Structures are given as C-alpha cells and as structure tokens.
Homo-oligomer: A and B are copies of this chain.
Amino acid sequence: MDYQPINARVSPEGSLEILSSQEVNSLKDDGEGGLYRLFRQCALAVMNSGSHTDDCKAIMETYADFDIRLVQQPRGIKVELINAPAAAFVDGAMIRGMRENLFSVLRDIVYTHSILTGPIGDDTSTSAGITNLIFQILRNAGLFLQGHQPNIVVCWGGHSISREEYDYSKEVGHQLGLRGLNVCTGCGPGAMKGPMKGATIAHAKQREKNGRYIGITEPGIIAAEAPNPIVNELVIMPDIEKRLESFLRVGHGIIVFPGGAGTAEEILYLLGVLMHPENRELPFLIIFTGSAENADYFQMIDDFVRGTLGNEAASRYRIIIDDPVQVAREMKAGMEVIREFRRRCQDAYYFNWLLKIDPVFQQPFEPTHDSMRALALHRNQPVHLLASTLRRAFSGIVAGNVKEHGIRQVEERGPFEISGDADILEPLETLLTTFVQQHRMKLPGSTYRPSYRIVPRES
C-alpha cells in the first residue's frame, strides 16, 4: 500500500451534484453549523476504503493534512483534494467508483442539511416526521426505482471475520446474484464486502449490467467501515438510528452473517422492531447463515435471543448452515411473498411504509458513561423495549470500539459500565466474552481493550 498522498481535482457524474452558490458556501464553512468538517471526514473515509484498518482515529491522524475544497467550474462543480490517500487512485486518476461515492457524500450532506435546517413540514420530533425525512434522503439519493420487483437483500455481519467466513459470504452473494437479487450492506470490509464481490461476479455471468450494490452508512461509522468502490449506490444517513431504519424500509429480506457487537446490535434492533404487535402479520424474511464452523456461533446467538427476548423473537429468523444455494433460494422465494403482500396492501415495493417502528428505536442514543450506566436491563418492560435497551448497550460498546467520539471517552474515563438484572447480564456477558475471544471486536492483529465493563446491580 502506497501512503504517498496525492493532490487532484475530480468531477462528479450526474445532475444531482450541481450545487447552488449557497450550497457551495455551506460546504466551505468550517464554523458552527458549517458542513466542512463533516464533509472532509466522510470524504476521507470514502477514499481510504482500500486500507485495512478500522481505527478511525488512526486514519484521521495519518491524513491530518488532508484538505478538500469545492471549485466552481464552467461545466459544473469540481472537488479539489490535497494530500488525499493514494489508495483511491490508479496512476494518478481517482477510481471512478470512489469518485461517485465521494459525490454521493456531497449530495447527502448538502441535502440533509437543507432539509433539517429548512422546511416547516419536516418535523423530526414525531415518528412520522423521522420516517418522512428518511424517505426524502433516500429518494434524493435515487434509491427508489419504479417498476422494479422486490429484490434487495440486506446483508449484515462482522467487518472483522475469518478468511473462511469471508469466502462463505462471497458464495452467498454469488448465489443471490445468479438469481437476480441485489445486495445492500452497511459498507465496510468483511461480511459487507464478500456478498457484493460474489454478486458482482454472478451479475457478470448473468449479463446483469445494472446490478445494485447499495451501501447505507452514517458519519459516525463511515471511517471505520469505509465503502468499498464496488458500492454503486451510497447513502449517508444522519445517524445510526436512521441508517438502521433505512435498512428495514428499503430491504426486502435480511441475511445475517457472523459478526461481533455491531451485528448483535443490528439483530436486536431488527427483532425489537418486528416484535411490535402491529408488525405481527408483516412478512420479513430473516436468515442467519454461516459455514459449518459457524454453527456454534449461531447456536450462541440463538441461545442469547431465546434467553433474553424469548422464543417468539427467535421464530422470526431461520438459521441455515453451510448452504449458500438454499439461502439464495429461500431469499428468492421470500421476495415473491413480499411482492404479493405489498401488492395486496397497496404498499410501495421500494419503501416499506407499513412497518411500524416504535419511537424508541428512532431516537438517537448518545453513548456516554452516564447514558450507558442508566440502561434499564430488566424484565419489567415489554419485550420489544428490552430489545431496544439491549440494542443500546451494544451500540455503546461499538462506539467505544470504533467510533471517534466513543474511543475518546473510553480513553479518558475508562470502559463504559453496564448493569442490570443478573438473568440478562449473564447471557450478555457470555456473548461479549466469546466475541472478544473470537476476535470479533477488532480487525485481526490489533489487541482488543474492552470498551465496556459488566457491573452486576447492587441489590
């Protein structure tokens, strides 16, 4: 890997990236309310996607003198890059996939800003208002294609997985792609990259030139899980809750590969949302899958879900071990169920309006030592609220592992403390310990220093 930084001017594709003078100014503004810092950070993440580190602090320090500027040009806006990561370039020219993703970042940051600082109608204090905002950002990003059948498979799983796990996820993507399905992930390496690579090869075999490799991320995670340049539809949501909601509104089925704390967070979010009574009849195909050696892993996850949320929650997913063809066939069949259901209910294929998401899953959770300590990990609540609380616990742990803000807090004040009822803390601790042992918290090579500490409730 060549770390010699590069200076370059790059042009966008498409007309959405045409900016007004006003918008250009907001991106140049690095004061309060200005977007410069956010834009610089996300742009750097996109360009750093070739690198093999998930340590965003390290990235930011390596490219401390990286700078990005907008330049008005007769044929449209250009972006000037100073001291940019060399991995984004081939012989001095930026890889086109990176270039497109760079301008997707630009597009979403500008648009989200204009919506949030703007319209009276965008009341993000209500649940409907938040969903409406998500709809608008996704629409502006061009994610809604009319006339398309349901065919988007969301793939979740760890960014730090073994070679065998990676190859397995690739083969699943290959089988999905052979069946004309598209892949949506949270960006990043590992289980988010494998299925896209596999699908790319399969789409080539099927002469599918318009394969979709959708990446949905958010500013806090993008540096740690940079979009690889195969991602050809990148969306930057404002925060993690809106990103998770996007997956559920846009995806028609979800596959979960082995992962760590981030994957557990996603599973808890997903099950928590689906366990809302209004979603009981809603079809949503969820498959947990991995190679033979992952059988134990999913047994452990299954135990944790049954032990904390109960058997009904466990009934929403299927576990398929070592059978990519079967995974893809079930997913393909599930698409037909979705299609029928949406048609019957007159719901859009491209956006799951009918899914009820409780506001507790929509409100951003800011992990701090106080908020982590305050999590109510007890059974005196509806099970979907318990799922939400557990989700937040994992969210905090992930932040302490890989997010800039979280890492700094843990560095300054030590691990986050998590407490609660013993019959919840116990399966939680079991799970977390195994994650650490299996190196599911960090990329291999780096030693993991836990960002959390389980504190049994003093009773």
Contact = CB atoms under 8 A, between A and B. Distances in A.
B201 A147 contact: no
A348 B208 CA distance: 28
A232 interface: yes
Interface string A27-45: 0000000000000000000
Contacts of A207: 96-97, 100, 232
Contacts of A147: 75-76
Contacts of A76: 144, 146-147, 348, 350
Interface string A436-456: 000000000000000000000
B12 A146 contact: yes
A145 interface: yes
A18 interface: yes
Interface string A5-24: 00000011111111011100
Interface string A165-205: 00000000000001100000000000000000100110011
B206 A96 contact: yes
Given A15-B139, A353-B21, A229 B209 contact: no
Interface string A333-348: 0000001001100111
Interface of A: 11-18, 20-22, 72-76, 90-91, 95-98, 100, 114, 117-122, 128, 132, 135-136, 139, 142, 144-148, 178-179, 197, 200-201, 204-209, 213, 228-230, 232, 329, 332, 339, 342-343, 346-350, 353
A122 B213 CA distance: 35
A378 B448 CA distance: 68
Q: How many copies does the complex hold?
A: 4
Nearest to A72: B346
Given A76-B350, A205-B230, 10 more contacts: A11-B146, A15-B145, A18-B144, A76-B348, A95-B205, A95-B206, A96-B207, A114-B121, A204-B213, A205-B229
B117 A119 contact: yes
A261 B75 CA distance: 36
10 contacts: A18-B144, A74-B342, A75-B146, A75-B148, A76-B350, A95-B206, A114-B121, A119-B119, A204-B213, A205-B230
A169 to B, nearest CB: 15
Nearest to A148: B75
Contacts of A97: 204-207
Nearest to A178: B90
A179 B232 CA distance: 19
A136 B208 CA distance: 29
Nearest to A177: B90
A91 B329 contact: yes
